[in-house]
Amino acid sequence: MPIFATKDNLPSQLIDQLRTARQVVVLTGAGMSAESGVPTFRDAQTGLWAQYEPEELATPEAFRRNPRLVWEWYAWRKQLVNQAQPNPGHYALLAFEQHLPKFTLITQNVDGMHQRVGNTNVIELHGNINRFKRFNDNVIVESWADNGEVPPRCPQTGQLLRPDVVWFGEALPSKALSYAFEQAAACDLLFSIGTSGMVHPAADLPAVAKITIEINPDKTMLTNSMTYVLQGASGEILPALVKATWPRTGLPE
Ligand code: OAD
């Protein structure tokens, strides 16, 4: 049975474990960016796209059927993400990296927020919405002429471009995935933050770790198997955890 707590009664045993940890792994999901104003993946689609399910848009079949629609949906999400600012939870995870001997940040998010605040060892399991590749052979393309064609084409081969994100039914980057499982099995503590734990294989990572901590305002598929469950928003709980563990850490408000 997990130990349940909130930001106001963080377990002293957890704080000691974090302060003395040699190696910590964090797995983040869309909830990590919710306080930056980026809708989580299972929020109802807002505005122009309300009539679509993400599953109708984030697949190779959807792209083959209507490449313009899929490209424009990602362009909308990219603009949303790039307009958003990192929140205190992102900065708290930078403090984790600065204080811990070894810190691995595994993210399901494609928004690049962890890198924007300065985290370095970031493993992107589902790709990055700001990176593009050829649809036919997955070769990354850095730039192309903006001739108004949507989606744009590779300047070398003329092949259609797509976002470098993992779509439903596609395999995750195998090197990133095996490294993630290796780190999860080796670490002293694994935090699962802002994820519903509904999508595998990312959701299988906590199961291989010794001590696990979930940070989420709601219960998830993983809650009952956790060692600790810190109930609340990551943008509030993570700064409180950093202040309790490393009191002299300055965090941006
Ligand atoms: P979900 O939308 O499935 O879950 C978001 C989680 O964040 C939920 O459990 C919320 O309760 C929680 N949450 C909301 N606000 C929060 C906050 N302020 N602080 C902490 N947690 C909060 O998103 P993911 O679990 O990330 O895959 O979804 C996993 C994958 O499913 C995504 O990466 C995407 C999707 O299919 C691909 O794109 C391949």
Asked if residue 211 has its Cβ within 6 Å of ligand 1, the reply is no
Spatial contact of 23 and 246, defined as CB atoms under 8 Å apart: no
Asked if residue 44 has its Cβ within 6 Å of ligand 1, the reply is no
Write the pLDDT tens digit of every residue in 140-158: 999 999 899 999 999 999 9
pLDDT > 60? residue 48? no
Among protein residues, the one whose CA lies closest to atom 35 of ligand 1: 41
Looking at residue 43, what is its pLDDT?
A: 66
Percent share of the chain, pLDDT over 70: 96
Write the pLDDT tens digit of every residue in 214-230: 999 999 999 999 999 99
Looking at residue 65, what is its pLDDT?
A: 94
Asked if residue 34 has its Cβ within 6 Å of ligand 1, the reply is yes
Among protein residues, the one whose CA lies closest to atom 25 of ligand 1: 195
Confidence of residue 248 (pLDDT cuts 50, 70, 90): confident
Confidence of residue 87 (pLDDT cuts 50, 70, 90): very high
How far apart (Å, rounded) are the C-alpha atoms in residues 123 and 116? 14
Looking at residue 25, what is its pLDDT?
A: 98
How far apart (Å, rounded) are the C-alpha atoms in residues 209 and 112? 25
Asked if residue 196 has its Cβ within 6 Å of ligand 1, the reply is yes
Active site residue 126: yes
Domains and CATH numbers, the chain: 1-36+86-126+166-253 (3.40.50.1220), 39-83+137-165 (3.30.1600.10)
Looking at residue 46, what is its pLDDT?
A: 63
Q: Measuring CA to CA, which residue among 36, 16, 18 is closest to residue 28?
A: 36
φ, ψ of residue 160 in degrees (nearest 5): -65, 145
Confidence of residue 35 (pLDDT cuts 50, 70, 90): very high
pLDDT > 80? residue 182? yes
Among protein residues, the one whose CA lies closest to atom 16 of ligand 1: 31
Mean pLDDT of the chain: 94
